[in-house]
């Protein structure tokens, strides 16, 4: 197992992110699914120059992106988006793509369950065939009920992965599991054959070690089931606007380079823009908690 980190949680130049994570001792980046934004030749060089790898990417299911949308054209555009993310990861010599099938923040369905399931399977099959040809793995990621009504638990992701194809994987996320699973350890055991990615944040979505999740137990369970991929750090902190805040000055009042869509995406995760100092503290805290457990 090795340590990776996502970069969608704060808008900043990739050079800055890469410098920080290299100096803190991370091994890899799970790069945000924004293929339009990256020149892969340049990013590959940048990673290499700091001794880092690209582990994979995560789909950012914002705005109209939805693999089980009612409208066929919307599904087609969402499939093309996932294919573009796969191509980006291939060009970065990465390994996998975590796929959230529905739009983040869409918590009310607008079609019948049978129809949606069929659309989700069809869309995922198209993405899967493309990933297979590219030599990459897909991991369907369950997220909590306040971000999607569709896939919230490992068993649901497993059912979808089984309907999609023999190599279709599942990506679990300790933060979401803590909210939705009856037993996270048992869920890891049930998913083991298809586990291709694992995201980490604590129960309050702060850095691992800043909440109540039993990290030694989670990491030893991953070892027990033979998971040998990345632990991808993905905190997305709540921002305290009251005088009770333990982190005064953590809110970034004038975020640079944050588009309205990205801001909405952060808000749909219960977070917002935060300062570089706060971010660096969280990336450091994550590695301090996890590195001794690897």
Residues labelled catalytic: 141, 234
Nearer to Mn ion, 46 or 229 (CB): 229
Among 75, 95, 106, 199, binds Mn ion (CB under 5 A): 199
For residues 285 and 210, is the Cβ–Cβ distance under 8 A? yes
* Residue 96 sits in the site that holds ligand LER (CB under 6 A): no
| Binding-site size, ligand LER (CB under 6 A) | 11
With binding defined as CB under 5 A, does residue 202 bind Mn ion? Answer: no
| Contacts of Mn ion in 234-253 (CB under 5 A) | 234
Rounded to a whole number of angstroms, the minimum distance from the CB of residue 289 to Mn ion is 17
Task: In whole angstroms, give the CA distance from residue 247 to residue 210.
Answer: 13
- Could you give the count of Cα atoms lying within 13 Å of 61 in the half-sphere of its Cβ? 27
Name which of 23 and 65 has its Cβ closer to ligand LER.
65
Nearer to ligand LER, 199 or 285 (CB): 199
Which C-beta is closer to Mn ion: that of 116 or that of 173? 173
Query: CA 264, CA 252: separation in Å to the nearest integer?
Result: 15
Q: Is 141 in the site for ligand LER (CB under 6 A)?
A: yes
109/270 with CB nearer ligand LER:
270
Closer to ligand LER by Cβ: residue 100 or 127: 100
Q: Hey, how many other C-beta atoms are within 10 angstroms of the C-beta on 282?
A: 24
Question: DSSP alpha helices (H): ranges in the chain?
Answer: 14-24, 40-49, 72-91, 113-134, 154-164, 174-180, 184-191, 215-224, 260-268, 276-290
Shortest Å, Cβ 172 to Mn ion: 8
Using the rule CB under 6 A, is 152 a contact of ligand LER? Answer: no
Asked whether 101 and 124 are in contact (CB, 8 A), the reply is yes
Residues in the chain: 294
Measured from the CB of residue 104, what is the shortest distance to ligand LER in angstroms?
5
CB 85 to ligand LER: min, Å: 12
Binding mask 214-253 for ligand LER (x = CB under 6 A): --------------------x-------------------
211 C-beta neighbours (distance < 10 Å), count: 17
Give the shortest CB-243-to-ligand LER separation in angstroms. 29
Euclidean distance between CA atoms 75 and 77, whole angstroms: 5
Q: Does 104 bind ligand LER (CB under 6 A)?
A: yes
Which has the closest alpha carbon to 94: 129, 136, 128? Answer: 136
Residue 232's SS3 state is strand
Closest distance to Mn ion from the beta carbon of 173 (Å)? 4
Asked whether position 95 contacts ligand LER by CB under 6 A, the answer is no
269 counts as binding ligand LER under rule CB under 6 A: yes
CA angle 109, 124, 234 (to 5 degrees): 75
With CB under 6 A as the contact rule, the residue among 199, 200, 215, 279 that binds ligand LER is: 199
Q: What is the dihedral of CA 279, 4, 56, 158, to 10 degrees?
A: -100
**64 close to 39: Cβ distance less than 8 angstroms:** no
Q: Which residues bind Mn ion (CB under 5 A)?
A: 173, 199, 234
Q: Which residues bind ligand LER (CB under 6 A)?
A: 58, 98, 100, 104, 141, 143, 147, 173, 199, 234, 269
């Amino acid at each position: 197992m090795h340590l990776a980190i996502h970069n969608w949680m704060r808008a900043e130049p990739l050079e800055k992110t890469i410098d920080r994570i290299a100096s803190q001792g991370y091994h890899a980046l799970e790069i945000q699914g924004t293929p339009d934004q990256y020149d892969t030749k340049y990013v590959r060089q940048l990673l290499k120059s700091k001794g880092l790898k690209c582990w994979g990417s995560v789909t950012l299911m914002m705005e109209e992106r939805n693999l089980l949308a009612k409208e066929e054209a919307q599904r087609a555009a969402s499939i093309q988006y996932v294919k573009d993310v796969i191509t980006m990861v291939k060009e970065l010599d990465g390994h996998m793509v975590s796929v959230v099938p529905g739009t983040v923040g869409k918590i009310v369905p607008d079609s019948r369950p049978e129809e949606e399931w069929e659309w989700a399977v069809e869309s995922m099959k198209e993405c899967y065939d493309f990933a297979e040809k590219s030599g990459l793995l897909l991991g369907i990621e369950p997220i909590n009920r306040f971000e999607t009504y569709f896939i919230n638990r490992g068993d649901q992701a497993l059912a979808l992965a089984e309907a999609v194809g023999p190599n279709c994987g599942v990506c679990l996320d300790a933060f979401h599991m803590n909210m939705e699973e009856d037993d996270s350890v048992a869920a890891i055991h049930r998913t083991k054959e298809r586990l291709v990615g694992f995201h980490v944040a604590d129960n309050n979505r702060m850095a691992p070690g800043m909440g109540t999740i039993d990290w030694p137990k989670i990491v030893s369970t991953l070892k027990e089931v033979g998971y040998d991929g990345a632990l991808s750090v993905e905190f997305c902190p709540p921002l305290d606007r009251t005088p009770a805040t333990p982190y005064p000055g953590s809110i970034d009042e004038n975020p640079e380079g944050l588009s309205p869509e990205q801001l909405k995406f952060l808000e749909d995760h219960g977070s917002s823009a935060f300062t570089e100092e706060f971010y660096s503290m969280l990336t450091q805290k994550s590695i301090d908690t996890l590195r001794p457990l690897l």
